[in-house]
A and B are shown apart, each in its own frame.
Chain A
Amino acid sequence: EDKVVQSPLSLVVHEGDTVTLNCSYEVTNFRSLLWYKQEKKAPTFLFMLTSSGIEKKSGRLSSILDKKELFSILNITATQTGDSAIYLCAPDSWGKFQFGAGTQVVVTP
């Protein structure tokens, strides 16, 4: 059975801290893994990862995929209150995304 596990489920940090979010997966016919940020409405796209070991960066966010160990990490450095959200990972399996339960990040001033 396919499985996507995100950890931690939630965390609270102070502005300026660095956070590391984990996503482990076991899915059939894996093609890629996506990260999304969800605030109050629908998720917004962050990254798509297809190759192991190649870090993708966008501003203070970065992500990397390990296809051998079946996990991905999303890092947020110098966090800001605007980073408060739920972060979802979604491996692409047979062309469909299976979302993890998400990690809720709360950044306090």
Chain B
Amino acid sequence: GAVVSQHPSWVICKSGTSVKIECRSLDFQATTMFWYRQFPKQSLMLMATSNEGSKATYEQGVEKDKFLINHASLTLSTLTVTSAHPEDSSFYICSARVPTSAIYEQYFGPGTRLTVT
């Protein structure tokens, strides 16, 4: 099956600093990637849709200037949390869409746990 990796898997940063998370599709080209956030004991909430070569589409309530998304190639999307604060501490998960005929599947990366102190 399709494999998606994320790096780093765990990061601790100080309040006010920025953190970059990478999402890579390892054995397929992903025209679309998604970024989710999951707080403890809650479900995945879609933050934004990242399309290769164009600007990301953010969900309502997600600050695009705070969560910068870059999808520079068909295998890599990055999420940068700028000026991180403790309330940004969460589990961030990316997924990549696999185009299969007209039906699409998403495969998830292993996630990145961000802790802001």
Chain A interface residues toward B at CB < 8 A: 31-32, 34, 36, 41-45, 48, 50, 88, 92, 95-102
Contacts of A45 in B (CB 8 A): 1, 105-108
Report A-chain residues with C-beta under 8 Å of the C-beta of B45: 99
Kindly report which residue of chain B lies nearest to residue A92, judged by CB atoms: B104
Residues of A within 8 A of B93 (CB): 42-43
Give Cα A34 to B103, complex, Å. 12
A48 in contact with B46 (CB, 8 Å): no
Give the interface of B toward A (CB within 8 A). 1, 32, 34, 36, 42-46, 49, 93, 103-111
Residues on B with beta carbons closer than 8 Å to the beta carbon of A100: 43
A41 with B46: in contact, given A48-B103, A48-B105, A92-B104 (CB under 8 Å)? no
Instruction: Name, among A31, A32, A42, A50, the residue most crowded by chain B CB atoms within 10 Å (CB to CB).
Output: A42
- Report chain A residues within 8 Å CB of B110: 41-42
Which residues on the A side are within 8 Å of B106 (C-beta)? 34, 45, 97
Beta-carbon contact of A88 and B111 below 8 Å:
no
Bound CA span A31–B105, Å = 11
Q: Tell whether, in the assembled complex, residue B43 and residue A41 are in contact, meaning their CB atoms are under 8 Å apart.
A: no
* A88→B104 contact, CB < 8 A: no
Which 4 residue pairs spanning A and B have beta carbons closest together? A42-B108, A42-B111, A99-B43, A99-B44
Is B46 in contact with A95, judged by CB distance below 8 angstroms?
Answer: no
Q: How far is the CA of A50 from the CA of B103 in the complex (A)?
A: 9
A59 to chain B, nearest CB (A): 16
Nearest to A97 among chain B residues (CB) is B106
Could you give 8 example pairs across A and B, Cβ below 8 Å? A31-B103, A42-B93, A42-B108, A44-B108, A45-B106, A45-B107, A96-B49, A97-B46
Q: Is the CB–CB distance between B104 and A95 below 8 Å?
A: yes
Task: Report Cα–Cα, A95/B49, bound state, in Å.
Answer: 10
**A70 to B36 alpha-carbon distance, docked (Å):** 25
A42-B93, A50-B103, A96-B34 given; A101·B42 CB < 8 A: yes
